[in-house]
Chains A and B, each alone.
Chain A
Amino acid sequence: MPIVDEPRASGAVGQAYLFGLGSPRGPDRLGWLAAERLSTELAARRDVTVDRLGQPSDLFLHPLTAGDRLLLLDAMRGQGPPGTVMAFSPEELPVEVGSVSSHGIGLAEALALVEALGLCRAGIRILGIEMAPAGAELGETAIERLREEVRRWLAAPAGSPVDQ
């Protein structure tokens, strides 16, 4: 069932940013595929901004404020069968995500900067989508699970446990 097109009931005043991380091709494109699918379903929601980002640091190109909330969709590996969707708070990210290059700003560094800059205090959540060894397609099961997570995220009061 597509995401219900109605304003957030949470009463949060900030914008909700939903970013797919990845690239246009290869197994790493799952985050982009998910963002593309969800952007269509969220098109009427003026309180939600959906974008595809080539690098986590590109999120700073958006005018994020303290009152906003942030949902990141990214491909993951080694967390279950292909298509598995898992939700994480920044603190729950697998350790290997934190050990990224200092030259690029990886996900962990970008989120540390978001925290240090006092942005997106209304909540940050990361949805990981398990990639397949070859190719990258979003199955209907994964899409439905993503919809569920996005629906919960949009409905949750700002700063609630589901949003952190």
Chain B
Amino acid sequence: MNDDKRSGEIHVPVLARVEGEGGLEIRVREGRLETLKLRIFEPPRLFEKLLEGRGAQEVIDGVARICGICPVAYQMTAVAALEAILGITPSPWVTRMRRVMYCGEWLQSHALHIHLLAAPDFLGFDSAPAMATRYPDEVRRGLRLQGLGNAIMQTFGGRSVHPVGVCPGGFFRAPDAAAIAALRARLEASRAESLALIDWVAGLPLPEDDQDFASVSLRHPGDYPITAGRIVSDRGLDIPVEAFERHVKEFQVPHSTALHALLDGRPYLVGPLARLNNNLDRLPDALRERLAANGIRFPSRNMFHSIVARAVEMHLALDEALRLIEDYAPAAAPHAETTPRAGTGVGCTEAPRGILWHRYALDARGLVESARIVPPTSQNQARMEEDLAAALTRFGLDRDDDALRLHGEMVIRNYDPCISCATHFLDFRADRG
């Protein structure tokens, strides 16, 4: 056997710097990738079943517990689905403030991923603390932006972890003007930092690895999509969120406790890169020009440009929050009154990691008869395996196990997978036998 025709297996027992527990297993035969499995072995969490028999408010507060990083995404998606059943159209004030709260989550989630999970890979460090010794100012900047996102969520939800402020029809209470004024001052003071972050991230030594994939995201008539829109792809898909189940099929694979999903029979990408690819024209002109000045062209086929998309979305989220609270006044009625009724409703919003889709059926008492939750990481799993196969082959299957393992982990981390959300990850094994 020569090195060009290597055979064997590589196993990554537990993936580092991803949320949840999983592993990667590859088998190489005569220099070709024979099998690749992204193994997810975190126990199923059965959230949908736990929600049965619960009322609307319990659903909103309960789904926030699915993820400590994107609780707002779960709450906003659930409340959209529930309000569709209850026949509620949120007031313009509620619509604006929900978008502000969601911007907080994008800021904190993206800041964490960029600085603690992804950037160490690109700069050759094995951890964020190791990177912090060489890039202290950048890490502290990232942590300040992350804290700013937490502050936004806390303002509307009482706390940044598993917030509790969202209810059918709006919020339990409106933040007072002084709290919003203080938030506004902090946002203003952070604009330069989030702009500088875009430049820093665009200057990272990102691998070149163009691939062919379908970008799927929401698309809103006027705004960069966060809380609402139609589901679109760069391959011509354009459907209302109610039609999601007709196009996306979830299925189980033996090596994963998280469902895989295919769009019309093919893997697809959701998340910041897909969002930016599909919504470049929804960025403010100045931000689009800033991006162009950095020399990275979007739409991009390079999955590693996801980190740039995250930085762009952080600045967008910061500016959106500022814009939406510019003339803030507390609403006299921060939520509409609701009456339980039977029906089925769906909601779909852009979680930091991509589209998150919920469907609920309520009985006449307003209690959940059935629930279905399709998180972004489940949707990205098939795409991740497709990407891994292409990326590891291009990287060189003849490389040693450690190099392959590290590259595989970098590819996976680039998706910012949230396995805890999806199980409802990395043990690496390579078989070269």
Chain B contact residue count (CB 8 A cutoff): 37
Show 12 residue pairs from A and B whose CB-CB distance is below 8 angstroms, ordered by the A residue. A55-B160, A55-B161, A57-B147, A58-B150, A60-B144, A101-B68, A101-B69, A103-B418, A105-B116, A112-B129, A116-B130, A116-B132
Flag B152-180 by CB within 8 Å of A: 1 or 0 each: 00100011111010000000000000000
A55 contacts across to B, CB distance below 8 A: 150, 160-161
Complexed CA–CA distance, A116 and B18 (Å): 21
Q: Assuming A55-B150, A60-B144, what are 13 further A-B pairs, CB within 8 angstroms?
A: A55-B160, A57-B112, A57-B143, A58-B150, A60-B140, A61-B144, A103-B19, A103-B109, A103-B117, A113-B129, A116-B130, A117-B136, A118-B136
- Closest A residue, CB atoms, query B17: A102
Complexed CA–CA distance, A112 and B125 (Å): 15
For the residues of B in contact with A, the DSSP-based class is helix
A54→B140 contact, CB < 8 A: no
Contact residues of B with A, CB < 8 Å? 16-19, 67-69, 109, 112-113, 116-117, 127-130, 132-133, 136, 139-140, 143-144, 146-148, 150-151, 154, 158-162, 164, 418, 420
Whole-angstrom distance between the Cβ of B138 and the nearest chain A Cβ: 11
Interface status of A115 (Cβ within 8 A of chain B) = yes
- Closest A residue, CB atoms, query B134: A116
A117→B139 contact, CB < 8 A: yes
For the residues of A in contact with B, the DSSP-based class is loop
Q: Which 8 A-B pairs have CB atoms at the shortest separation, nearest pair first? A: A116-B129, A60-B143, A116-B132, A103-B19, A61-B147, A103-B69, A112-B129, A54-B160
Flag A99-142 by CB within 8 Å of B: 1 or 0 each: 00111110001001101111000000000000000000000000
Chain A contact residue count (CB 8 A cutoff): 21
Complexed CA–CA distance, A24 and B162 (Å): 11
Known contacts A61-B144, A115-B129, A103 near B158 by CB under 8 Å: no
A103 contacts across to B, CB distance below 8 A: 19, 67-69, 109, 112-113, 117, 418, 420
- Closest B residue, CB atoms, query A60: B143
Interface status of A23 (Cβ within 8 A of chain B) = yes
A60→B147 contact, CB < 8 A: yes
A23→B146 contact, CB < 8 A: no
For B159, give its contact among A23, A61, A105, A112 (CB under 8 Å). Answer: A23
Known contacts A23-B159, A61-B144, A116-B133, A101 near B128 by CB under 8 Å: no
Whole-angstrom distance between the Cβ of A8 and the nearest chain B Cβ: 26
Known contacts A58-B147, A109-B116, A117 near B140 by CB under 8 Å: yes
B146→A57 contact, CB < 8 A: yes
Complexed CA–CA distance, A112 and B158 (Å): 28
B116→A102 contact, CB < 8 A: yes
A104→B129 contact, CB < 8 A: no
Known contacts A101-B68, A102-B116, A54 near B143 by CB under 8 Å: no
Complexed CA–CA distance, A59 and B200 (Å): 24
Whole-angstrom distance between the Cβ of B310 and the nearest chain A Cβ: 14
A54 contacts across to B, CB distance below 8 A: 150, 154, 159-161
Known contacts A102-B16, A104-B68, A104-B112, A109 near B144 by CB under 8 Å: no
Q: Which of A76-110 contact B (CB under 8 A)?
A: 101-105, 109
Complexed CA–CA distance, A61 and B149 (Å): 11
Complexed CA–CA distance, A60 and B144 (Å): 6
User: Looking at A61, A102, A109, which has the most chain B CB atoms within 10 Å of its CB?
Assistant: A102
- Closest A residue, CB atoms, query B148: A61
Whole-angstrom distance between the Cβ of A157 and the nearest chain B Cβ: 26
Complexed CA–CA distance, A57 and B418 (Å): 19
Complexed CA–CA distance, A109 and B68 (Å): 15
Whole-angstrom distance between the Cβ of B172 and the nearest chain A Cβ: 13
B67 contacts across to A, CB distance below 8 A: 103
